[in-house]
Chains A and B, each alone.
Chain A
Amino acid sequence: MKILVVGGGMGGTILANNLARRLSGEIKAGKASITMLSASDKHMYQPGLLYVAVGKMMPDELYRDQVSLLESCITFRVDPVTKFNLKENNVLTESGKQYDYDIIVISTGSRAHAEGTPGLAENASQFYTEADAVKMFSSLQKFEGGKVVIAVGVPHKCPMAPLEITFMLADYFKERGIWDKVQLHYTYPIGRVHSLEPVAKWAQPEFDRLGITYETLFNMKEVQPGKIISEEGTEEDYDLLITVPAHKGMQVIEDNELGAGGFIPTNRTRLNIEGYENAFVIGDTTNLPISKAGSTAHFEAEALAENIASTIKIGQPVRDYDGKVFCFIEAGEGRATYAMFNYQNPPDPKAPTKGIHWFKTAYNKMYWASARGLL
């Protein structure tokens, strides 16, 4: 049984490690194999970019060698897939090789796509790549006061990022002693300050307390130097524009016409590609209407690994993915909270505490144990 994992981010890594342990007997007996194909030999802890953007982490803290995170029985190759032949059960790669499989899991992730909004890439700071996060920190360091606008595209990776960067910016400007010279103005696509109603109900009074102004039903249409225009017909002047850009799936998914915007139509409980019983999708690559977050990829990977292993051992899957998501929320002033929910149960976030902030800070290091499938 040849299992092929395409993508070495959080979802693919947890899945491959989890599966390697569940199938250790079959792998030793030569009855199963796991191969991972990735675009990089490095694994990045993506949530750390938020901290790099405000000078709280250094980029080199975010990386580990991918091979160091994988069980030794997993074959790892840096050889990105260029062609998915799902009907023939094989993929072709950049190096020209063909990899045949019995089961494939696609976990190629998503990317910020500022270029999709006219003028955004040229005029805004963002933090979704190492280079962009470092550049954003440089922009902040040069900023001496004025109006800072936060603008949010849809869909985006990490649903808490818009709120977190706002509270972290407030802390940053306070620490620099220029908070009284800054007007922080938050915008959001729907009619409240966050998609989760309980989170919005908590965040709005926090904004009021801190003097952060906000505008809802604001979707970016076009950005000009010093001015951002919304689809809804409003405009905001800015001195510094910070954005959470709309995201797309990876180009290879679009090139292979596997899904609009690079997001693959996926069964919400079994995680298979619609129409295929041996092809699965996890993480940001799915088109599921749930959060694009590391925790989503994590919980999907655990459910899918269990089902792939059980299918090999007893011929059938044993459980559904229940839509579980867990997101920390950095709330500023050394506090944090979290939201946890699934398809059936809405979130009920508690008041932020310093304890949860310290747990989140610890998790920034403990992540590597998660990726190895140990946490």
Chain B
Amino acid sequence: MSERKIVDAKNTFCPGPLMELIGQMKMAEIGDELEILSTDQGSAADIPEWINKVGHEMVETSENDGVWHIVVKKIK
């Protein structure tokens, strides 16, 4: 069973949460879930936009105490 990997990109500006996610997705196996933590509100829009464009799967998005938790699944 694939495991969920946490990518902690809180309080980082460069390369930023989406770039971190893109790099981690390359190393992930198909079926893996990644949960990216971000304090950048823009991530809540940027990450789904990229995930949908590439054709991976958005699993869930939530916000808790200023930290966005965005869970995605590698599909291909």
Contact = CB atoms under 8 A, between A and B. Distances in A.
A219 B22 contact: yes
Contact of A196 (B14, B22, B53): B14
Contacts, number: 73
Nearest to A152: B19
Nearest to A189: B22
Interface residues of A, number: 30
Interface residues of B, number: 23
A119 interface: no
Question: Interface of chain B, helix or strand or loop or mixed?
Answer: helix
Question: Interface of chain A, helix or strand or loop or mixed?
Answer: loop
B14 to A, nearest CB: 5
A102 interface: no
17 contacts: A154-B19, A154-B23, A159-B14, A189-B18, A190-B18, A195-B13, A195-B15, A195-B16, A195-B18, A217-B49, A217-B53, A246-B26, A289-B7, A289-B9, A289-B20, A291-B15, A323-B12
Contact of B16 (A190, A339, A343): A190
Interface in A98-117: 116
Nearest to A116: B26
Interface of A: 116, 154-155, 159, 189-191, 195-197, 217, 219, 231-233, 246, 260-261, 268, 289-291, 323, 325, 339, 341, 343-344, 346-347
Q: Which of B7, B8, B20 has the most CB of A within 10 A?
A: B20
Interface of B: 7-9, 11-20, 22-23, 26-27, 42, 46, 49-50, 53-54
